[in-house]
Amino acid sequence: MKSLPKREQVKVEETWNLKTLFENDSAYQQALQEAEADSTTFAKHYQGTIKDTASAIKALDAYRSLQEKMTKIGSYAELSASVDLTDDEAQMRESQYGSIAAKIGSQTSFVMSELSELPEEVLQQASEQSEDYAVTFEKIIRKKPYQLHPEVEKTLAAFSSTFQAPYTLYNTTKMADINFPNFTVNGVDYPLSYVSFEGVWESEPDTAKRRAAFLTFSGKLREYQHTTAKTYDMHVQMEKTTADLRGYKSVIDYLLMDQDVDRSMYNRQIDVIMEELAPHMRKYAKLLQKIYGLEEMTFADLKMPIDPLYEPSITVEESKTYMNDALAVMGEDYLDMVNRAFSERWIDFAQNEGKSTGAFCASPYRGGSFILISWTGSMEDVFVLAHELGHAGHFYHANQEQNLFNYEASLYFIEAPSTMNEMLMANHLLKNSEDPKFKRWVLSSIVSRTYYHNFVTHLLEAAFQRKVYERVDAGGNVNATILNELKRGVLEEFWGDTVTLNEGAELTWMRQPHYYMGLYPYTYSAGLTVSTEMAQRVLKEGDPAVKDWLNVLRAGGSKNPAELANMAGIDITTDKPLRDTITYIGDLIEQIEKLTEEIEAQ
């Protein structure tokens, strides 16, 4: 395994094409200058004019036009920086954008202030009269009690880039400053990076290599724990101050407001999984331990594949075939979108120094989609790419039907279309073989990738995050020692005495950027709960279920999460879908156990 190349050394065809946003930096800079001028003109024309229904709708029309331009500009700045955090020019461009966006945000903050000052009956009337902005007006009514004086709102908007600073600092520390040393096993050196650890070594079948990689990886993280903890504390304290200023009872209530879900749905997702999924996952850990003949099962062993011999190495071109075969059930239009993602270079596959870890899909309004992934050639990459194409498919459909203010679904629901694609991929693989070893491998891929990632990794982040916010709400701060204790406590609660926590397991909180994105971690399991139920409907009903799902995608953010799920025939206001999903995971693990017995008896 070689060290990662510089960005300029990777093949162009492995990178995404940002020219669909702006041809070059010059065109980007011109658009940014025009947006600055437009915001000044907008403020001159509309500030102080929002007095009734008609003027409110007129102002929102002009505001929407400005925001559509800013979405495209911001995406270009952020995406070009994300692929190389060592690129000074790209980092400066992103910083410059943040400063100008903050200025524009401050200049235009009067829109929401003036709308919020309108009597509720006027806002209600505007909601009834304007189909385009009905949802927007309803959100303004909901947030009305928490809106501050216009001058305060203007000041807060001016500081928006400062409020983003902890997240930027976290990424800079993680991707630009941390250089992992090689690790050595039996006299052989192996290179280590964030990408290689999470994409290769964490699931390496060779126990000596896997554990040595974990030890070296955690050792280097530990050197940065205090800076990273201080960065995170800065972030949560700013959120607490904002929540207090606006009059929310807690940071959690403040962060849930934009998700349009109540506290009980948030707590249920964490509490039920922590209690009821844990026994199933402990059984799975013991099964892994038995298959590998380990004296003890450690935290560093949890991502081992059940049967590495069935782990194919998959090229980017081969992944396209997997996508076409698995997602064909979604129809021709959806498949056309998937193929365009490959042919039009929506996807950044390259592995290079300074590139953001993990994967994401950014979809600026009517500006296409941009998927970041670092391709290692594993089946995990296939599932991850299917996941990100699920996001792309969601925005592709929502963009066709919804305006800028309505196209993005609540964070609570945002992971449902992505995890739905993972389920379709798993179903496709299962249908194509009766070989017990292959079936066991597929089932274990579903458990160890789709469910482990979304129902365990991210859910344990959520349980940890809730403890952090409870501490902050009580007036406390956090540092590295406290964060390590909280994370270790959550891991011990979930895994019990089935799994030995290696030294460094507690540092897992350092690895995820989700903590800087509000209450994001728990939404992965929420989305997967919906998509598990939906995937079962598609298997049983075919086209009628697919049509329902495509209608859900088209609805975007025009409905709240419970309404969207209801369109798919799922009631997430009860605990039934969640408990059904946990039972389904338990059934998968039982099938793996039976297949293991069958294989061992041969």
Which CATH number goes with the domain that contains 208? 1.10.287
Give, as one character, the DSSP assignment of residue 499: S
CA distances in angstroms from 308 to 50, 203, 301, 445, listed in the order given:
64, 9, 14, 11
Tens-digit pLDDT profile for residues 304-361: 988 877 778 899 999 999 999 999 999 999 999 999 999 999 999 999 999 988 899 9
Q: Hey, is 433 helix, strand or coil?
A: coil
pLDDT of residue 128: 94
Name the E strands within 327-478: 347-348, 360-362, 370-372
Mean pLDDT value across the chain: 94
Q: What are the φ/ψ torsions at residue 522 (nearest 5 degrees)?
A: -70, -20
Q: Name residue, tokens 């947030």.
A: 143
Check whether residue 122 and residue 28 sit in a common domain.
yes
In a domain, 481, yes or no: yes
Q: Cα 161 vs. chain centroid, distance in angstroms? A: 21
Residue 11: pLDDT over 90: yes
Residues 152 and 266 in one domain: no
| pLDDT value at residue 317 | 96
Count of H-run helices and E-run strands, the chain: 26, 5
Mean pLDDT of 487-514: 96
216 in the same domain as 133: no
The answer to whether residues 577 and 500 belong to one domain is yes
DSSP H/E element including 164: none
- How many domains is the chain partitioned into structurally? 3
Q: Could you tell me what percent of the chain has a pLDDT over 70?
A: 100
**Final residue of a domain: which of 202, 223, 244?**
223
In this model, does residue 431 exceed pLDDT 90? Answer: no
Same domain, 119 and 211: no
Count of C-beta atoms within a 10 Å radius of residue 446? 22
Q: pLDDT value at position 432?
A: 80
User: 172 lies in a domain?
Assistant: no
Q: Does 183 lie in the same domain as 141?
A: no
Q: Distances from the Cα of 572 to the Cαs of 11, 265, 533, 580, in angstroms?
A: 45, 8, 11, 11
Cα four-point dihedral sign 561, 563, 569, 570 = positive
Does some domain include residue 371?
Answer: no
Residue 398 falls inside a structural domain: yes
Based on the fold, state whether residues 189 and 145 are members of the same structural domain. no
Between CA 320 and CA 329 the distance in angstroms is: 15
Could you tell me if residue 139 is inside a domain? yes
Identify the pLDDT of residue 556: 96
SS3 116: helix
What CATH number is associated with residue 68? 1.20.140.70
Closest C-alpha to 353, from 18, 91, 16, 9:
9
Reference 89, options 5, 160, 97; nearest CA is 97
Q: Which residues contact 12 (CB under 8 A, 6 or more apart)?
A: none
Which pLDDT belongs to residue 1?
52
pLDDT of residue 60: 96
Both 134 and 204 in a single domain?
Answer: no
Verify that 215 and 290 share a domain, yes or no: no
User: Where in 186-247 does DSSP place strands (E)?
Assistant: 188-190
pLDDT digits (tens, 9 = 90+) for 439-469: 898 899 889 888 998 899 999 999 999 999 9
pLDDT number for residue 438: 83
In angstroms, rounded to a whole number, what is the distance separating the alpha carbons of residues 408 and 558? 8
Phi/psi for 101 (5° steps) reads -60, -40
Q: Is 148 helix (H, G, I), strand (E, B) or coil?
A: coil
pLDDT tens digits along 235-280: 999 999 999 999 999 999 999 999 999 899 999 999 999 999 999 9
Is 367 a member of any domain? no
pLDDT of 480: 98
Q: Are residues 97 and 210 in the same domain?
A: no
Residues 595, 513 within the same domain: yes
pTM of the model: 0.89
Q: 547-600, pLDDT tens digit by residue?
A: 999 999 999 999 999 999 999 999 999 999 999 999 999 999 999 999 999 998
Residue 313: CB atoms within 10 A of its CB come to: 9
> How does pLDDT run across 111-166, given as a tens digit for each residue?
999 999 999 999 999 999 999 999 999 999 999 999 999 999 999 999 998 999 99
Residue 238: inside a domain, yes or no?
no
- Do 340 and 452 share a structural domain? yes
Domain extent at residue 450: 254-301+314-344+378-601
Q: Is residue 405 part of a domain?
A: yes
Q: What is the CATH number of the domain that holds 400?
A: 1.10.1370.20
- 372-398 pLDDT tens trace: 999 989 888 999 999 999 999 999 999
Which amino acid type is present at position 456?
A: V
Q: What whole-number distance in Å separates Cα of residue 425 and Cα of residue 173?
A: 35
Give tens-digit pLDDT for 96-121: 999 999 999 999 999 999 999 999 99
